[in-house]
Structures are given as C-alpha cells and as structure tokens.
Chain A
Amino acid sequence: MFPVLALLAAPVLMAQHGNTTQSNPHDSEQDRAAGAKLFATQCTGCHGKNGSGGSAAELTTGVFRYGYSDAGLFNSIASGIPGTAMPAFKLDARHTWQLVAYVRSLGEGRAAGKAKGNPARGAKVYASSGCQSCHSIGGQGGFAGPDLNAIGSTRSLGHLQRSLLAPNEEVSWDYWSLLGRTAAGERIAGLRLNEDTYSFQILDSQGKLRSVAKPDLAEHQIDRTSPMPSVEGKLKPDQFEDLVAYLASLRGAQQ
C-alpha cells in the first residue's frame, strides 16, 4: 500500500511547497473579492491598505521579489519568507489562493486597457524616436535608462505619461549619478549603483563597475536629474498616445 499512498501524497506535498508552476485555481472575481477581505484583516498591518506598502513591501507594482508565479506567491504566504518579517499564514489552501488572486490583481495591467493609442503604431514611434539608445526591451537596447520590458505592469498610465512629458519629476534612485573629483584631481562620473557610509559603487561613464572610497573624494554630489529628454513638443498628440499605449502593453516575460 505504501507506494500508492506515496503517489497520492505527492501532489499535496508539491502544492504545499509551491514548487510547481501551478496556476491559481481560485481566480474568479468572487475569489478576488474574498481575497481582498482576507487581505484587509491579515496583511494590511505590514503591507498597507490595498497593498500600498508599509513596514513590508508595496504590492501594487506587479513585481514580487520572492516568487513571481502564482505558486511562488502561494508559497510565500503559506510558508513565510525566511530572513524577513513575513510569517507563515496557516490558512486553508482555498483562502491562500484567494489571497494570491487579490495580490496579483493589485498590480496587474494597471496601465493597459485604458490607453487610448495604438500599441503597434507606438512601437514604431518608439523605434523612430531613438528610445532604444538608452532603454531596452527584451534585452535589446541601451542600459543608461530603465529597462522597459515589463513597464506596463509596474507603472500606471498616468505615471508613463508624466515620465515622458516631465522625466525629472520623479527620478528613481536607480538613475541617480555620482559626480565628483578625487583629491588627486581625477573626475568621477557614473551611475550611483549603491552607497554606504564609506564608499560608492558606480557604473562609470566607460561602462566599468568600480567602488570609490568617500575619503578619496575631495568633493562630490549626487545628481538626481534625469538625462531623459521630454517628448513634449517633439511628438504629435496621436504619436504620444500611441507611444504610451505601446509602453503600457509591455508586460515582460513572467517566470
């Protein structure tokens, strides 16, 4: 009897560990609504109202550091995340899946669907405007600006519009630059990748990764402006809408 029992147990164990590509079996509108109620009582304390973030991660971006797939999210909820404050929630499987459904809905396709333009035409605007010299999609393009592969699932429509029209309004820390000069007179310029009390880690203008010790810098500043030019006045209104629609359609490859 043992082998039979073992075979029967196998799918259960796999589901418990979330070590599968299983998609969510409870993903209806009703499930999402039930998940929202559960979320309000179980999760808001750390993740904020509607997943807007608090002491724990914001969940509205559509990007999850631990477990992007449905099964991965299930596992994070059911087993907790070691090394973080995320505990295991001992809910039954249906309720856990409902939470997964709700959490995924928070960041899913926030931008697409509402865009007025035509994504296919927008792709041509993207290509003809030189965006790819700094941005990449599907691994193709430059590295100076943000990777846009999944930008449509992580940014709202309004955010995309503002980023095109007023790129300096909100510059992510990812694109801050270090500008400085060493005591020996060397000029330092590069993308600020990381920093601690004693050093900067940068990608310099030669494309080289290096650390710069703060005591070696005679002077320095963090430049938070964006080198991205505004498209205002450079695109016709319909081109602008098409470009926004194209960006909103970019969802990336899911793990």
Chain B
Amino acid sequence: MTRLLPGNRPQNGDCPPAARRTPFALVALLLLASQAPGQVSRERLLGAASEPQNWLTYHGTYASQHHTGLDQITAANVSQLDLKWVWQAQSLDKFQSTPLVVDGVMYVSEPPSTVVAIDAATGRTFWMYEHKMPTGITPCCGKVNRGLAISGKTLYMATLDARLLALDAATGRKKWDVAVAEYQNGYSLTLAPLVVKDKVIIGTAGGELGIQGFLAAFDANTGKSLWRFHTIPQPGEPGHETWKNDAWKTGGASIWLTGSYDPDLNLTYWGVGNPGPDWDASVRPGDNLYSSSVVALDAETGKRKWHFQFTPNDAWDWDSVQTPVLANMEWKGRPRKLMLWGNRNAFFYVLDRATGEFLLGKPFVKQTWAKGLDDRGRPVKIPGMEPSPKGTVVYPGVQGGTNWYAPSFSPRTNLFYLTAWEDYVGTYYTWQTDYVPGKWYAGGGVKAVVPPTKRDQIQRWGRDAGYAAILAIDPRTGARVWQHPMTGMSESGLLTTSSDLLFSGNREGHFFALDARSGKLLWRRYLGGQVMNSPISYMLGPRQYVTVASGHSLFTFTLRD
C-alpha cells in the first residue's frame, strides 16, 4: 500500500486559529512553509518515483514511464470512482496540458500560455498568471501549451511567442522572462520544460514554418543561456552533409515534446520532429539529420553522445516527437538500460540508451512505406511511396501509428502501452511551396477520411477508415499482448498504476480504466470533451486521486466514501 510521506500533509486551506490571531504565528508558518512543502529540490526530482503522492515532472519522473506507484484504486474498487471536482479553463483552445502536483497544489497551464495554481483537494484556484501575448505569433497547429516544470520554488513555462518564463510557485509572480527565438520567423514553444540540476531545457516548435530547430538550456536561477544544440547540424558540424541544396537553412527538425533524463548516464533524450518542407523531400536530398530522430545529449554541456534516426529523409511528416520511455529490463539474459519508443512511422523500437544501439524494431500497426528495418534499424523504404503531385496512398496517415501522446511502461507487467491509430490511411500530395519567413512551408498536404487533429461531434467514418486502440506490447519481442479497440480516434496519453490499472481517454469524450494485464474494460465515465492530455494520479491524506483533461476542463476522481 501507499505510504503517506512527509510533505504530503492534507491541504484543507484552514489555518490554525493562532495564525488568524497573531502576525508572529503567521510569520512562523510562512518560515516553516518555505522549508518543506512546495520546495522541489534536485533530490526530490531525482527520486520522484519514491513520492508517488506527487506528480513532479511533466512525464511524472525523469524516466517518463507515466506510471504511478499508487495502488489504492484497484480493479476491485474502481467502480466506486466518483467525480471530486471539475476545474474549467478560460480558453476554448485545445487543452493538451498535463498538470504537476506538488504537496497538495496542482499547477497547470492553459492555452495559450497561462499558468494556474489549483487546490488539488477542491479544484479551487489559488492564482493565475496570464502571459501577455503579442500579435503575430506563429504556432503551426493551434494555440497550445503542454505543461510546466518546477524546481525549488520556481515554475517554468515556455510560451507561444518563444519566451521562457520563471514564476514564483507560491504567488505566481514572474521572476524572469527571456526571449528564446524570434516568433516572427516561425518559432513557438509549446512543450513543458525539463529541469535537470540547475538547468531548464526546452526545444522549439515550428517544423512547418521553415525554422532551424534546437534544444537550449538556461540557468534555472537567472535565465541565462547556457548551451544550445542545433537539431540541424550547422556548417562544419558532423551531419551537415546530410542536407543538400542549402535545405538545412529551412529544415525544421523542431522539438515540441518534453524529453527524458538518465541521471546515472547524465544523458538527456529528446525526440526530434520532421524535416521541412514536410512532404516535398525532393528539395532536401539526404538523410536530413537529426530530423525524425532521437538525440542523446550530455545534460551538462549539450554535446551529442549518440543519435538514432527513425525515418531518414522523412517525406511523410513523421515527427519523432514521442516520449522517450526509459526502462531497465533484462535483455537477452543480462540487465540493460533500454529506451522504448513507439514511433509515428508505425514501428516500435527498443534501443540501448547508453549507446544508441538498435536492439529491436517491429511495426505495431499497418504500414505500407517500408519493407522492414535492416539490422541497424534503418528502414528499407518501398519505392514509390513518397508523396506525389497526384497523391500517394500510404498507411499510416499523417498522424502516424501514434503521435505525441504519452505511452506508459509498467515495471510490474514489463509491458509497453501506447495509443495507436489502426488501419489509418492518408493520401499524400506534394506541391511547390516557396519559403517566406514565418509562413507555412510544408511542400504538400495530406487527405484522409479521419480528421487528423480535430474532434468531430459526429462519427463520420466507418472502421475501414481507421480507429484508435490502446495496445500492450511486449518490449522483448515487439509483439502485441492485447488490444483495446475504440470506434473513434484518440489523442490521449496513458497512465498505469501499481494496482495494474491503465487509465486513458479518447476523442469521443470517454475516460476509462482498463486492466493493464488483460486490456479488459473495468470502468468508464463519459466526460463529453475530447481527452488530449495524459491522466495523472496523486494522493492527499488517505485518498488517491486521478485527474484528466476533457474538453476545456480538468476532471478529478477519487473513490466514494
């Protein structure tokens, strides 16, 4: 059972009577508060898995397993889950943010770049910080923000106008605010930052607008720029030769999802987006490193340790912007530090995360663009499957076999879980696009029956055009263990628990719990709005809570009394 740890005191908002009477007592309380709850030290971030009552990083822990150590909600009692509170965002833009929970306070961002502190017990708002956005921002795909990071008593948010902000976690007051890139030229920041030691690491979006992607680290105390890793190698750097025709200048390779970190190796891992222009690969011959790859960087220096490119010369917009899931498992008879990756290109991969060595790769949904992978993991492309002026029919469609929504790994079942788009097809077109700074630069488009990003209130297609499913995959073989099919599509992340439940949602507006071992549906609630974030779990006092976003609201459940 879950233990109640220090720093996890019930937060009911009541002050002791003495505090109401004397300022001295209030001062004493504030001093106490500054020392314990709400302070997220480096050690706490490293040991986040050992305090499952909180959700301290965007992915839960540095290993990004989206797995909670909590086990109060079980298959036997999940039917008793009840709605505790609902918190509604002001914005009607897509709610893709996954909250943090720190000692009874939930921190969440809402579109476009607003931070909110919420009482995790009641859903009441403590404070809001609204970033003033200039006109002329250039987000490619909606005014979204995916979340926050915390270190010490400071929250960090990356914004759509390409700035990095530090806020005081107690008051929401801004500590500093630095420009990261020029939003006028297509740069925008949509991801949750990752704090490693004294650094805040972020990447830039804008892969459809001809940017030059990068990862950048900033001093967590001052905002000073510390290092920058170019996801398109600059002239003179190794890999620059993989871009012909000066295409590197507008090659995209964005990063719009938070990476992972292995403290023992001191490596941080990030998935890199598509090369640009997305669908006209003829203007950028070569492998186009490090687009559609994972890069492993020294967290101290930003120097590349290794990379693995999933889709060289990607012509389908198959960003490798997925969560790098770190798992320690026995591999062929010996313990190994692995990275598990369900890629948008429809293949599931296992890599050695110390070296980048390719260990296994296998399609997890229908795909028609590659014969398979060679023994180094490089795809053997099928000729004629690239986008064309008349259109080329390819499985999977543009949203891929999966996308950015969080997968999960359970160290209890040793299974990898992901949200997949099954039997999903698209017709890929090319057309000429001229580069204009800050404008759309994609070189084509994709048609499909299934809407790629938007929820339809009405299900306008049949199963033959595609459907979502949650898959459980055995990382040792790449084989499916079970499938939970849905009718509509899903852009929801996953959460597994130490009681072997799997929580997820879908575009239809359902939120549900499956048996993580069998895939059997155990419980569901219709929330009505599409789920586009990842469920999280936390504990306050004796109770476990589960929170998910549906539509424009956060819904929090706990067991009935």
Q: Name A residues whose Cβ lies closer than 8 Å to a Cβ of B.
A: 40-42, 44-49, 52-55, 82-85, 87, 90, 173, 176, 193-198, 222, 224
User: What residue in chain A is nearest B144 (Cβ atoms)?
Assistant: A85
Report chain B residues within 8 Å CB of A54: 429, 445-447
- Residues from chain B with a CB closer than 8 A to the CB of A53 are 447
Contacting residues of chain B (331-349) with chain A, CB-CB under 8 angstroms: none
Q: Which of A48, A83, A84, A197 contacts B488 (CB 8 A)?
A: A197
Beta-carbon contact of A196 and B488 below 8 Å: yes
Given contacts A82-B93, A173-B461, contact A45 B486 (CB under 8 A): no
Q: Is the CB of A49 within 8 A of B429?
A: yes
Other than A52-B447, A197-B508, give 10 A-B pairs with Cβ distance below 8 A.
A44-B431, A45-B442, A49-B431, A49-B445, A55-B398, A55-B452, A82-B92, A83-B94, A85-B94, A193-B458
Q: Is B440 an interface residue (CB 8 A)?
A: yes
Which residues of chain B are near A87, meaning CB under 8 Å? Answer: 138-139, 142-143
**Number of contacts between A and B (CB, 8 Å)?**
85
Interface residues of B, Cβ cutoff 8 Å to A: 92-94, 135-136, 138-139, 141-143, 208, 398, 429, 431, 433-434, 436, 439-442, 445-447, 451-454, 457-462, 485-488, 506, 508-510, 524
Q: Are B141 and A197 in contact (CB under 8 A)?
A: no
Inter-subunit contact B487/A46 (CB<8 Å): no
Q: Determine the distance from Cα of A41 to Cα of B445 in the docked complex, in whole angstroms.
A: 12
- Pairwise interchain contact B508-A196, C-beta atoms closer than 8 A: yes
Tell me the minimal C-beta distance from A230 to chain B in angstroms.
23
Q: Is the interface of A mostly helix, strand, loop or mixed?
A: loop
Q: Does A195 contact B487, Cβ atoms closer than 8 Å? A: yes
Q: List 29 A-B contacts (CB under 8 A).
A: A41-B434, A41-B439, A44-B445, A45-B208, A45-B442, A46-B440, A46-B445, A47-B445, A49-B431, A55-B445, A82-B92, A82-B93, A83-B92, A83-B93, A85-B94, A85-B454, A87-B139, A87-B142, A90-B135, A173-B461, A193-B458, A194-B458, A195-B487, A196-B487, A196-B510, A197-B488, A197-B508, A197-B510, A198-B524
- Min C-beta distance of B145 to chain A, whole Å: 15
Q: Is the CB of A222 within 8 A of B429?
A: no
Within the complex, the shortest CB–CB distance from A35 to chain B, in Å, comes to 16
In this complex, what residue of B is CB-closest to A52? B447
* In the complex, chain A residues whose CB is within 8 Å of the CB of B92: 82-83
Q: A64 to nearest B CB, angstroms? A: 15
Q: Which 7 A-B pairs have the closest CB atoms?
A: A54-B445, A45-B440, A196-B508, A45-B442, A83-B92, A197-B486, A85-B142
A42 to chain B, nearest CB (A): 7
Separation of A82 and B112 alpha carbons in the complex (Å) = 11
Q: How far is the CA of A194 from the CA of B441 in the complex (A)?
A: 36
Q: Which of A40, A41, A84 contacts B142 (CB 8 A)?
A: A84
B136 touches A90 (CB 8 A): yes
Closest to B467 in A: A197
Flag if A41 contacts B447 (CB, 8 Å).
no
- Report the bound CA distance from A193 to B454 in whole Å: 19
Contact B460 A173, beta carbon cutoff 8 Å: yes
A176 to B338, CA, bound (A): 48
A85 touching B453, Cβ below 8 Å: yes
Are the CB atoms of A194 and B459 closer together than 8 Å?
yes
- Most B CB contacts (10 A, CB to CB) among A45, A47, A49, A85 go to A45
Bound together, the chains give a CA A52 to CA B445 distance in angstroms of 10
Closest to B490 in A: A197
Residues of chain A lying within 8 A (CB to CB) of residue B436:
41
Chain A residues whose CB sits within 8 angstroms of the CB of B447 once the complex forms = 48, 52-54
List, in ascending order, chain B residues with CB within 8 A of A40's CB. 431
B residues in contact with A198, CB < 8 Å: 510, 524
B508 touching A48, Cβ below 8 Å: no
Interface centre among A49, A82, A85, A176 (most CB of B within 10 A): A85
Least CB distance, A60 to chain B, in whole angstroms:
12
- Do B135 and A224 have beta carbons less than 8 Å apart? no
Closest to B446 in A: A54
Among candidates B433, B440, B487, residue contacting A197 with C-beta atoms closer than 8 Å: B487
Task: Considering the complex, give the chain A residue whose CB is closest to the CB of B486.
Answer: A197
Q: A84-B142, A197-B486, A197-B506 known; A45 and B445 CB under 8 Å? A: yes
Q: Chain B contacts of A49 at CB under 8 A? A: 429, 431, 445
How far apart sit A193 and B460, CA to CA, in the bound complex (Å)? 9
* Contact across chains for B141 and A85 when beta carbons are under 8 A apart: yes
Which of A41, A90, A176 contacts B433 (CB under 8 A)? A41
User: Min CB distance, B522 to chain A, in Å?
Assistant: 14
Check B429 against A48 for contact (C-beta < 8 Å): yes
A18 to B486, CA, bound (A): 40
| Min distance, Cβ B456 to any Cβ of chain A, angstroms | 10
Instruction: Select A42's contact among B139, B398, B440, B509, beta carbons within 8 Å.
Output: B440
Closest-CB distance, A190 to chain B (whole angstroms) = 15
Distance of A58 from chain B, by nearest CB (Å) = 8
- A196–B524 Cα distance when bound, in Å, is 13
A85 contact set on B, CB distance < 8 A: 94, 141-142, 453-454
- Cβ contacts under 8 Å, A193 to chain B: 458
Cβ distance B502 to chain A, nearest Cβ, rounded Å: 15
Q: Which residues of chain B have C-beta atoms less than 8 A from A55's C-beta?
A: 398, 445-446, 451-453
Q: Which residues of the other chain, A, contact B462 by a CB distance below 8 angstroms? A: 173, 176, 222, 224
> What distance in Å separates the Cβ of B550 from its nearest Cβ neighbour in chain A?
14
